Amino acid sequence: MSKTIPVKKNDYIDVVFEDLTHDGAGVAKVDGYPIFVPGGLPEEKAKIKVVKVNNGYGFGRLIEILERSHFRVDVEPGDTHKYGGTQLHHISYEGQLKFKENQVRQVLSRIGKLEDVKIHPVLGMEHPWHYRNKAQVPVGDKDGKLIAGFFKPRSHEIVDTNESLIQLPEINEAVQAVKEICSELGIPAYHEETHKGVLRHIMARYGKQTGELMVVIVTRTADIPHKNKLVEEIAARLPKVKSIVHNVNSKRTNVILGDKTKVLWGNEVIYDYIGNVRFAISAMSFYQVNSDQTKVLYDKVLEYAGLTGEETVIDAYCGIGTISLFLAQKAKKVYGVEIVPEAIEDAKRNAELNGIANAEFAAGAAEAVIPKWYKDGIKAGVLVVDPPRKGCDEALLQTIIEMKPKKVVYVSCNPATLARDLRILEDGGYRTVEVQPVDMFPQTTHVEAVSKLILKEGN
């Protein structure tokens, strides 16, 4: 017999929040029945309205806070439009770091069954605002006026925003300038319902160490009305701009960038540095959005790799070679593999750019390329993985277990898939020594973590 649900939709109830979900909602329980409430914080007492009831859990809306958490910070009502994509901006930064550390601890214990692993406090930022070096801003119109900003949660309604508190000031300035210029020139916004109109997104990228700016105009159409005037005005109003690019996305899709990219003005790439390694960044390149914390993250990868100059290292999921080139400074040889061929071309170009000759890159699936290398006699003492959110491919994990590198350094952007993969590696003969979470995305629920694993004796 199913258990009776203790609340009904539209009930008003007083609750005490016990925890936060992985996406930052408060968790309250009524007779063991969990209710998830955006905006609630652990240890707070609040009045909520129940808005949805499922068999195993419900959702509520915060009506009134009766007893505040000491981690809560007040947000000026007029500033809320600046907080697009920031699920934790109502929590002090100290509270955010505690939440993220707790998140890593809980999933490693619950999913990975890893109880005796040393988990360090999260490495945070001194100034946890205005850090993103890239924006991809959707464009629409309202009352005949061009708007650009962010989507309201769980909707496709655009909130017009002149400034984001997590973007670098140069990014905010670029997006605002392009929005104003397009509006002045009467370039029409794209409408996804009708698949008509022109301007879909405004994208900006900024090299924090070099001061170089790229603007990307994403349109449905192959032509941009008043293109020459648009380019002239962008170059005049944004003195730091080094590249103006046109990307065409003619498909009915939520994917932001299309396949066709053309440089309208300036260079194909801008440059930036992580530490003393220089990177060329194109419109399509994957590049970490928080330059300062990327250095912190990669320094930790280097520390955990413990290179002496004698090691052969394999970097699975190497992207444009960011981690590979960092490692190559201390290793004898680095092999990087990545499934996206364009990223491998970028990686080779970045190696050349830095005069790094001991890094070699191959395009293909890591789980296919690495066994071939192994067969060809390439034996890695250290293997680094930095997979997407879904974690490592199971075939790659089995390859690692068979290859038996003495050390594995796992860089993760998703604690849940990290915990799952660490469990597989532990069962395959590895021991997780320590985990260092790094806050790459302050004010949001995301957290990166670097894990150090060593091969157990006898394996």
Please identify every residue annotated as catalytic: 413
Residues in the chain: 459
Between CA 325 and CA 275 the distance in angstroms is: 11
User: How many angstroms separate the CA atoms of 219 and 138, rounded?
Assistant: 11
* C-alpha Rg value of the chain to the nearest Å: 24
**Which residue intervals of 238-284 are DSSP H helices?**
none
> Distance between CA 352 and CA 100 in Å, rounded?
38
| Sign of the dihedral through C-alpha 147, 153, 155, 156 | positive
**Contact yes or no for 19/37 (Cβ under 8 A):** no
Q: Token pair for residue 435? A: 């985990």
Reading phi first (left if > 0) and then psi (alpha if -120 to 50, else beta), residue 103 is in alpha
Q: Report helix, strand or coil for 270.
A: strand
Query: Which helix (H) or strand (E) segment is 147 a member of?
Result: strand 145-151
Pairing label, strands 359-363, 430-438 = unpaired
Residues in contact with 349: Cβ distance below 8 Å, sequence separation at least 6, in sequence order: 280
Round to whole Å and give the CA distance between 379 and 370.
10
The answer to whether 417 touches 391, Cβ cutoff 8 Å, is yes
Element (H, E) at 98: helix 93-110
**Residue type at position 42:** P
